[in-house]
């Protein structure tokens, strides 16, 4: 009976191929749009969390909240609310037991770097010796500077990979070379690994590292102020405890009110959360638009089913005379509607997959980075189920109209 109804439905749809195709389009466009939206947002989220890595989930960072712009210049080199005392405070295991290690940076100026052959511009950051460990950045070659070199304000520098590439044709030759930074000689002791070219992370333009003390004395205004403090919690689970400890300790020493602190502490995961929230809003918006398309598709299916029923009144009457129950007739039209929905869904999934691949290609070709577009089996299965359900729902009213036709009225109609 069901098989027979499916065959009848296929024949009916096949008899009006053009009409069926146009009806399919509504569902097709909706499903394809949903697939691409989901694929894009899932891809973006996963590439984000991948980049944050396991380390990112343990990382906290403190930024000066309200920096009083310094003096007449009012540009860079402002007085930061963060300084070495904060680092000492946060490193104290008695005060903050859940903080494993603390690194700090002092952003100096943006300056010219000269090798024997080239000149290149990069920002110069003074950092603590454990900076790379805390941020989870690895070295391509060479080594990080030691505490001794920091204490001595040594003239050593660790380059980022892009700066190294610019200054030396062969980056493996960089370590041991001498370059001039702002007219002063520095020895290159290490080169960082390329951290990935995705535009998603906060990293970015060229930035070379020198000992904290060196940066303050030679490229800054001296003193003990800091631009940023990074902390690693002892584990992912203690992240919020660590944040609380840091907040309490710093509020006390900074003598600031809780409402208006002069610093702020954020975690990488809070950035990821924020990013995910934005992605979610974005996908809801796109999904909403796609849903409207699906709704229009559903109305199309319903319309075509009503046409199909009124065209086949005589056939319905005959089938009833031959023994079809109202239930038999209802099933027949529901199957027909479900098939339209499912066919639209299948084509929609295919177009969605093709579209996703196209977007991925376009982003990597024109945008310059690889953003995976993830289309999961789950999403595909759900899309197919949804499209079939839409077909069935759109078919309910036409099918029950067909089921309710009185056999004599149906037979009499011409």
Binding site for another protein (CB under 8 A): 1, 3-4, 11, 15, 314-315, 318-328, 406-408, 411
53 torsion bin: left (phi>0), alpha (psi -120 to 50), beta (else) = left
The residue (of 253 and 325) whose beta carbon lies closer to another protein is 325
The CB-of-341 to another protein minimum distance in angstroms stands at 23
The CB-of-6 to another protein minimum distance in angstroms stands at 12
What whole-number distance in Å separates Cα of residue 42 and Cα of residue 44? 5
- Evaluate whether 60 touches 104 at the Cβ level (below 8 Å): no
Task: Retrieve residue 396's tokens.
Answer: 């309910």
Any idea which residue has 């208006």 for tokens? 260
The residue (of 258 and 322) whose beta carbon lies closer to another protein is 322
The residue (of 70 and 407) whose beta carbon lies closer to another protein is 407
Taken in order 114, 115, 119, 120, is the CA torsion positive or negative? negative
The CB-of-328 to another protein minimum distance in angstroms stands at 6
- Evaluate whether 239 touches 178 at the Cβ level (below 8 Å): no
Task: Note the Cα 192 to chain centre separation in Å.
Answer: 25
Among 326, 314, 124, 304, CA closest to 218:
124
The CB-of-383 to another protein minimum distance in angstroms stands at 32
Task: List the helix and strand counts (H, then E) for the chain.
Answer: 13, 12
Phi, psi (deg, nearest 5) at residue 186? -130, 145
The CB-of-323 to another protein minimum distance in angstroms stands at 2
Instruction: Give the angle 300-302-308 at the CA atoms, nearest 5°.
Output: 105
The CB-of-310 to another protein minimum distance in angstroms stands at 17
The CB-of-4 to another protein minimum distance in angstroms stands at 5
The CB-of-316 to another protein minimum distance in angstroms stands at 11
The residue (of 235 and 325) whose beta carbon lies closer to another protein is 325
Task: Note the Cα 25 to chain centre separation in Å.
Answer: 30
Among 298, 378, 387, 391, CA closest to 348:
387
The residue (of 102 and 316) whose beta carbon lies closer to another protein is 316
- Evaluate whether 197 touches 51 at the Cβ level (below 8 Å): no
What whole-number distance in Å separates Cα of residue 32 and Cα of residue 6? 25
At 230 the three-state DSSP class reads strand
Task: Give the bridge partners for 119, in sequence order.
Answer: 114
Q: CA torsion, points 332, 337, 339, 343, in degrees to nearest 10?
A: 170
The residue (of 243 and 320) whose beta carbon lies closer to another protein is 320
What whole-number distance in Å separates Cα of residue 249 and Cα of residue 253? 7
The residue (of 4 and 173) whose beta carbon lies closer to another protein is 4
Phi, psi (deg, nearest 5) at residue 8? -60, -40
The CB-of-408 to another protein minimum distance in angstroms stands at 5
The CB-of-11 to another protein minimum distance in angstroms stands at 6
At 169 the three-state DSSP class reads coil
At 129 the three-state DSSP class reads coil
What whole-number distance in Å separates Cα of residue 323 and Cα of residue 331? 14
The CB-of-317 to another protein minimum distance in angstroms stands at 8
Task: Retrieve residue 368's tokens.
Answer: 């310059």
């Amino acid at each position: 009976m069901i098989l027979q109804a499916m065959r009848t439905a296929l024949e009916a749809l096949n008899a009006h191929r053009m009409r069926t195709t146009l009806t399919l389009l509504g569902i097709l466009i909706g499903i394809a749009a949903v697939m691409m939206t989901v694929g894009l947002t899932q891809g973006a989220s996963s590439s984000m969390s991948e980049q944050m890595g396991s380390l990112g989930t343990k990382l906290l960072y403190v930024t000066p909240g309200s920096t009083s712009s310094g003096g007449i210049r009012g540009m860079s080199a402002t007085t930061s609310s963060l300084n070495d005392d904060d680092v000492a405070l946060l490193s104290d295991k008695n005060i903050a037991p859940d903080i494993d290690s603390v690194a700090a940076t002092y952003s100096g100026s943006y300056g010219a770097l000269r090798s024997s052959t080239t000149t290149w511009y990069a920002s110069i950051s003074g950092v603590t010796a454990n900076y790379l460990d805390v941020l989870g950045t690895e070295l391509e070659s060479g080594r990080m500077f030691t505490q001794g070199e920091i204490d001595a304000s040594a003239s050593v520098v660790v380059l980022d990979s892009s700066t190294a590439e610019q200054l030396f044709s062969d980056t493996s030759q960089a370590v041991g070379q001498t370059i001039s930074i702002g007219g002063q000689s520095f020895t290159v002791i290490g080169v960082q690994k390329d951290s990935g070219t995705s535009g998603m992370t906060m990293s970015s333009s060229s930035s070379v590292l020198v000992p904290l003390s060196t940066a303050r004395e030679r490229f800054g205004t001296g003193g003990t102020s800091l631009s940023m403090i990074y902390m690693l919690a002892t584990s992912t689970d203690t992240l919020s405890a660590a944040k609380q400890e840091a907040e309490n300790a710093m509020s006390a020493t900074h003598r600031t009110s809780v409402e208006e602190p002069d610093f702020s502490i954020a975690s990488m995961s809070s950035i990821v959360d924020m990013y995910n929230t934005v992605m979610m809003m974005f996908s809801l918006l796109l999904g909403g638009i796609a849903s409207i398309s699906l709704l229009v598709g559903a109305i199309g299916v319903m319309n075509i089913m009503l046409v199909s029923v009124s065209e086949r009144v005589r056939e319905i009457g005959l089938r009833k005379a031959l023994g079809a129950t109202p239930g038999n007739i209802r099933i027949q039209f529901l199957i027909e509607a479900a098939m339209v929905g499912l066919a639209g869904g299948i084509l929609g999934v295919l177009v969605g997959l093709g579209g996703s691949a196209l977007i991925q290609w376009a982003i990597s070709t024109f945008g310059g980075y690889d953003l995976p577009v993830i289309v999961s089996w789950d999403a595909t299965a759900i899309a197919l189920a949804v499209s079939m359900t839409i077909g069935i729902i759109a078919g309910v009213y036409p099918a029950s109209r067909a089921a309710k036709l009185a056999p004599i009225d149906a037979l009499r109609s011409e």
